[in-house]
Amino acid sequence: MTDLPEITDSHCHLDFPDFEGQIDDIITRAADAGVTRMVTICTKLRNEPTIRAIAEAHAPIFYAAGTHPMSAADEPMATVDELVAIAQHPKMVGIGETGLDYHYTAETKEVQQVSLRIHIEAARQTGLPLIIHSRDADEDMAQILTEEHKTGSFGCVMHCYSSGPKLAQQMLDLGFYLSMSGIAAFPRSQEVRDIFAAAPVDRILVETDAPYLAPPPYRGKRNEPAYVEKTARVGAEVFGMEYADFAAQTQANFERLFSKVFQKANAA
């Protein structure tokens, strides 16, 4: 391990076939880049036992569970009780990813909206943050999250944020967080960088969404948690900060939102 500032990959998919049999090496490479924690995301609840087992077997790995909006119509509808029960596991730290995707699956938007509201209620009841995927659904996303937040508050991160500035501001106004992925490091993503630059730095997380969206110089290759350091360095530039200071800020932000991780570390 190096003496690089510590950082967290707040969103990756380590159960995907891309990583089969490689988790130990992935953790080693991550640690060499200063990445000491990662949250692997379950996108179909039938796969939750597999994701749970990965987290149980590796100290740096935590997990979240939910039904991805693109799978909402094909998977059994999650229930609040089911999500609340799963959340009792000590390494289960978030609800989702859930959300709305009208880019690929607009024909199932009604089912997606029902699923989203179920996940929101589970986030309320557990106190765990909601992990939101949003694509081409800004108006409905803003309406549902604003309406539900008035009913009862919950924490939330807009994962891999690449929507417009209006939705970003609406989410920040609700106290939510924006997560910076490799997209923000792409040369042609100045609009995305501008959206992050206008946000409070204490509401920013960083992620890989591995195996997708590898930042330069790895673009086009399989992404992995070690590469979140490259995105975070771009984030430091966006906010005009030294890398060590930006890394420390994102660590504090992660521990504030994903407080179960922080509480577990302090109890250890």
**Cα angle, residue 255 at apex, residues 163 and 119 outer, rounded to 5°:** 55
* pLDDT tens-place string over residues 116-163: 999 999 999 999 999 999 999 999 999 999 999 999 999 999 999 999
For all residues of the chain together, what is the average pLDDT?
96
The span from the CA of 220 to the CA of 209, in Å, is 14
Q: Check: CB of residue 75 under 8 Å from CB of residue 105.
A: no
**Per-residue pLDDT at 2 exceeds 70:** no
Q: What is the pLDDT of residue 263?
A: 75
**H and E: helices and strands count for the chain:** 10, 8
Q: Which residues contact 71 (CB under 8 A, 6 or more apart)?
A: 43, 44
Helix (H, G, I), strand (E, B) or coil at 184: helix
* The CATH number fitting domain 7-267, selected from 3.30.70.1450, 1.10.510.10, 3.20.20.140, 3.30.360.10: 3.20.20.140
* pLDDT tens-place string over residues 77-104: 999 999 999 999 999 999 999 999 999 9
Q: Which residues contact 67 (CB under 8 A, 6 or more apart)?
A: 43, 44, 45, 75, 77, 78, 98, 115, 119
Percent of the chain at pLDDT > 90 equals: 96
* pLDDT tens-place string over residues 22-80: 999 999 999 999 999 999 999 999 999 999 999 999 999 999 999 999 999 999 999 99
Q: Which two tokens stand for residue 264?
A: 């577990």
* pLDDT tens-place string over residues 176-211: 999 999 999 999 999 999 999 999 999 999 999 999
Helix (H, G, I), strand (E, B) or coil at 5: coil
If pLDDT is split at 50, 70 and 90, which confidence band does 167 have?
Answer: very high
Domain coordinates of the chain in residue numbers? Answer: 7-267
Q: What is the pLDDT of residue 253?
A: 98
Please give the model's pTM, rounded to 2 decimal places: 0.96
Q: Which two tokens stand for residue 26?
A: 């992935």
Longest Cα–Cα distance of the chain, Å, equals 49
Q: What is the pLDDT of residue 3?
A: 81
Closest CA to 174 of 160, 151, 153: 153
User: What DSSP assignment string belongs to 197-250?
Assistant: HTS-GGGEEE---BTS-PPTTSTTS---GGGHHHHHHHHHHHTT--HHHHHHHH
**Per-residue pLDDT at 165 exceeds 50:** yes
Q: What is the pLDDT of residue 1?
A: 44
If pLDDT is split at 50, 70 and 90, which confidence band does 262 have?
Answer: confident
Q: What is the pLDDT of residue 265?
A: 62
